[in-house]
Every structure is written in structure tokens, then in C-alpha cells.
Amino acid sequence: MVYRLKTLFGRFSPLRIALRASPVLLFTYSDTRNSQARLKEFHPSATLASSADLRFPPCPDFIALTPPFDMPYDQAPGRPGNLTSEQEQRLKELWTIVMRTFGVSPPPSLLESSTLTSKTSTTSANGSAAPPTEINTDASANGEKSKKKRFGILKRKDKDKDKDREKPKEAAAPKPTRTASTLSSPTIGADDENDKYGQSKQFKEALVEMTPEELRIAFWSMVKADHPDGLLLRFLRARKWDVQKAHVMMVSTMHWRLKEMDVEAIVFKGEGAALAEHDEGFLKQIRLGKSYLHGRDKIGRPICTVRARLHKQGDQTEDALNRYTVYVMETARMCLKEPVDTATVIFDLSQFSLANMDYAPVKFMVKCFEAHYPESLGICVVYKAPWIFQGIWNIIKGWLDPVVASKIHFARTIDDMTQFIDRDVLWKELGGPVEWEYKYLEPVPGEDDLLKDTETRERLLEARAKIIREYEDATWTWIYSTSSEARNARHEVAKRLRQDYVGLDPYLRARTVYDRVNYIQLK
């Protein structure tokens, strides 16, 4: 398929795109209500057919397309390794605020430097101003106490007590006194007209209800195998590089993950615990394959197919459905490897009827994508929608953010689907030639035994805590540095964090059906 490059963002001219060595960026149009083209995704091996056309090469199968983590981050704009000087400056500003929120102070060597004691801003190597240097580094009245709080993060307080826990929890330090600088971190105002999910209120609640350490734990737990910069950049892109709004969104998401959904418990317990606890509402959806992960689209994004015809409102509670949705989204994250950082969702509406319609889970899914998993949706394809869906769609599209709405596409035939997925990798259920169907493999006895090995988990978590502290120190150095060495040093520590998580994963995450069939391969 050919995408025209005639209407692009102002400063992204075809000439500048062409001069950026391969790969070339991919652009798609937004919906019919907006004629302005939106920069979407890219394909690492796409080629520029002419000055106005961009063509796609075919993609191999699911796992084979997974790029290595240490692939150069020069692929998509606004991602680690491909930031303009202005974008890098915004990232530095956000990291500065985030570290303050977490109660993490700069290393003593930086505290003693004249850069930090100055009331003016420094200038980076590219000429942009560094973040403001007027930072409160005293998280407590006593400097030694502040240091202990910082270095105690992600460490256990009492190993004997941990043996009886349901899921791994990093020890929380005593709640410190909030300083004025912490509580006065940027906010969006409670009356912000764009704050449709009440994130400003959640942000304030998080600062009151959660300690800095709890917020820090929630953040690093969400990072998992991702690049830490990649996670913060999602919030920045979602909030159009507004640092204050990105900070509010990030903190409210940490509150949602830790206090509302308890995401890490869902991941830790998984299918095995649901089987042992007779959680039939959760298990039935997995066994049916109401949604499943399989295949990749032309850009290499993992595909999640939702079979709406299998949903019946009374088959499970709303809580079970929400936990299942989070379970699928967290599992899909395990299939993402840089530079691919979004997924494709297919809503298969074949044999759909009004008996299958349920607005509550749709609203929850929209909220997840817009508020708590920002910039995670690549495209959403609604396949074979019947005529009765037109009225339903008119309601749903009113809930959507314009950016999310621009990612929705409708496909009626297999030819329509091949705009997004190569025909020769489409399976028969979607009209393709591939002999494949979803089959659920039950949990294997002993597959989650490592979750019970608390001693090894303690040791691995302590080792990871050291790397995290090293990354935080490297981040402070990068924030106030004018050299490329500081940037490169952070990147190397980020790669070590990724490699470290691979070994830690089976001690924190229960095995899933996608582990059993080798769809998830973190190595």
C-alpha cells in the first residue's frame, strides 16, 4: 500500500525525511474530520519509492520480527536516541521533577558542584538550557536520613515477614514529611477542561496517600524490560511535550497501578493462581480466547484480536473483566521490543449482535489506553462490523480523544485487512490462508515454582536496586551535563537494566499461555 506524503507536520518536510538515513518514517492520515496528516509509526526497512510515496516491505512471522533491545534508537521520533534538542530538554525537566517526587537527591559529587548551587540555568552542549537548578535536595531535616531513605528503596526490611506475602512487595520506608517543593510540583489545575479522567485529583491524592518511595516502586515496577526514558517519553508525547501535564499523568498512573488496580498482583498471580482460587470469571475469558495475542502487522507490531461475539455481559463480573483487560495489556507489553513500542488491536465483529454489546468494558479499555498506557496503541482495526454497529460507534467515538480516534480503521474484507497485515500471515479466522486457531494450554504444574523462591528473588531485587540507583545517579549527571559521554553512560545502564529484568522476570511474573507457546521471548 502506498501512503502519500503531501500533508505533513510543518517542520517534517519530505526532504528532511529523505535525508534521514534508512529507515524512513511512516505517515498515515487521521480520520476524515481532520485533514492534517499525523506522524504515526515507522518500519525499520521501509523504502522511499519516490519523493511522495512510501512503500512497505512484507513482514515475517510473530517472534522472528522482534528487534533486539540494543538496536540503535534512531528509528522513530520522540523515542530514546532520537530526540531533538528541545525534546531532550523536556525529558530532562520531567526527570528532574520525577526524581524530586520520588525523593531521590543528586549524588554528593553533583551537590558540591557550582552547577547545582547556582540559581541560574546551565546550558547544554546543543545550546538549550538545562533544567532549573533550584532544587530542594533535603528530603528530611537530617541529611543522613535522606541518604538512607534513598538507598533503602526496593530493599526488603524483614525476610521472615516476606515469606507469607501474596506477591512480592518492595519494602516501604517510613513516610517522610512532604516538603513544599514536593507538594508544589507542577499540576494541571482541577478545572482543566481536558482532564476528563480526573487525573489532577488523582495526582493530588497520590501525593497525600503515597510515600515518595511507593511512587518510586510503582514506577520501576512498571518499567520492567522497557527503557526508562521510553516510559517517560510516552507520557510526554501523550501530553504534547507539556512537562507539567506529563508529570500529573505519570503520577496518577502510578496511583492507579498501585492503589486501584494492584497491577503487580495481577501479573504475579496470573493464570495459575486463578486456577487454584477457582476464579472462573477470569479463567473463562482466557480459555475462550475472548482476546488473544498472535501475529504481527506490516510494521512489526504485535496483534491483539478481540472476538466480540464471545462476550456475554453476565458471564463474569466487571472486576474480573477489568483484571483480564489489564492482564492482556501487561502481557502484550512483554511482546514489545524497541524500536516497536505500540500494538495493533483488531476488533473482530463477525457474528456480532446486540447481545454481545457491553459499554462498561469498552469504556475501561479506552481509559486504559488514554490515561494509563499512553502511546501504546498503534492502530485499531474494526473488522466486519455489521450495520447495527453504526449507532454503537456513534456513541463510542464521542468518548475518544481525537488522537486515539484517528487510529481507528474499518475493514470489511480481506483486501481491506491487507492494508495493515500481509495476506500470507493472516490466519483463517480473519480470512487468510494460515492454518492457525487459538487453543488455550492449561498451566503446567511447577511452572511458577520460582515465584515461591523468595530467597533468590530477594538477592535479584537487591542487585537490581543497585543498577536502578546507578541509573538514577547517571540521570542526575546527564541532567546537568554538557557532554555526550553522560548520555551514552545512561544508555549503557539502561541496557543493563533490561538484561537484568530478563533474569528477574520468572520471579515476579506468573507464566502465561504465551510463555507456554513461546510467543514471549525476553532473551
- Higher-confidence residue of 51 and 515: namely 515
* Residue reference for cell 495475542: 293
Confirm if 22 and 45 have CB atoms less than 8 A apart: yes
C-alpha to C-alpha distance for 392 and 387, rounded to whole angstroms: 10
pLDDT score at 154: 54
Q: What is the DSSP letter of 10?
A: T
- Higher-confidence residue of 187 and 471: namely 471
Give the pLDDT confidence of 381-415 residue by residue, as tens digits.
Answer: 999 999 999 999 999 999 999 999 999 999 999 99
345: β partners? 304, 380
Burial class (CB in 10 A: 0-12, 13-18, 19+), 117: exposed
Instruction: List, edge to edge, every strand of the sheet that includes 377-383.
Output: 291-296, 302-307, 343-348, 377-383, 408-411
C-alpha to C-alpha distance for 239 and 241, rounded to whole angstroms: 5
Round the average pLDDT of the chain to a whole number and report it.
77
Give the pLDDT confidence of 420-450 residue by residue, as tens digits.
Answer: 999 999 999 999 999 999 999 999 999 999 9
Residue 171 has pLDDT above 70, yes or no: no
Residue 61 has pLDDT above 80, yes or no: no
pLDDT score at 13: 33
What are the angstrom distances between the C-alpha of 104 and each of 96, 140, 523? 10, 11, 31
Closest CA to 259 of 224, 216, 214, 220: 214
pLDDT score at 178: 39
> What average pLDDT does the segment 43-53 reach?
32
Give the pLDDT confidence of 451-467 residue by residue, as tens digits.
Answer: 999 999 999 999 999 99
Dihedral, CA of residue 426, residue 79, residue 409 and residue 350, to nearest 10? 40
Lowest mean pLDDT among 136-145, 150-159, 187-196: 136-145
pLDDT score at 342: 96
Give the pLDDT confidence of 267-285 residue by residue, as tens digits.
Answer: 999 999 999 999 999 999 9
Give the pLDDT band (50/70/90) at residue 33. very low
| pTM of the complete model | 0.76
For a pLDDT cut of 70, what percent of the chain falls above it?
70
Which residues 6+ apart lie within 8 Å of 165 measured at CB?
A: none
Residue 483 has pLDDT above 90, yes or no: no
Residue 186 has pLDDT above 80, yes or no: no
pLDDT score at 39: 29
DSSP letters along 279-341, please? -HHHHHHHHHTSEEEEEE-TT--EEEEEEGGG--GGGS-HHHHHHHHHHHHHHHHTT--TT--
C-alpha to C-alpha distance for 128 and 117, rounded to whole angstroms: 19
DSSP letters along 247-281, please? HHHHHHHHHIIIIIS-HHHHHHHHHHHHHHTT-HH
Lowest mean pLDDT among 140-149, 322-331, 364-373: 140-149
Lowest mean pLDDT among 112-116, 262-266, 325-329: 112-116
> What average pLDDT does the segment 320-329 reach?
97
Instruction: List, edge to edge, every strand of the sheet that includes 3-4.
Output: 3-4, 53-55, 47-48
Report the greatest alpha carbon distance in the chain.
Answer: 68
- Higher-confidence residue of 185 and 447: namely 447
pLDDT score at 108: 83
> What average pLDDT does the segment 73-92 reach?
86
C-alpha to C-alpha distance for 212 and 207, rounded to whole angstroms: 8
Which residues 6+ apart lie within 8 Å of 265 measured at CB?
A: 166, 167
C-alpha to C-alpha distance for 304 and 310, rounded to whole angstroms: 15
For a pLDDT cut of 90, what percent of the chain falls above it?
65
Whether the bond into 339 is cis, omega within 30 of 0 = yes
Counting every residue written for the chain, the total comes to 523
pLDDT score at 325: 97
Closest CA to 151 of 462, 474, 457: 462
Confirm if 426 and 434 have CB atoms less than 8 A apart: yes
pLDDT score at 408: 97
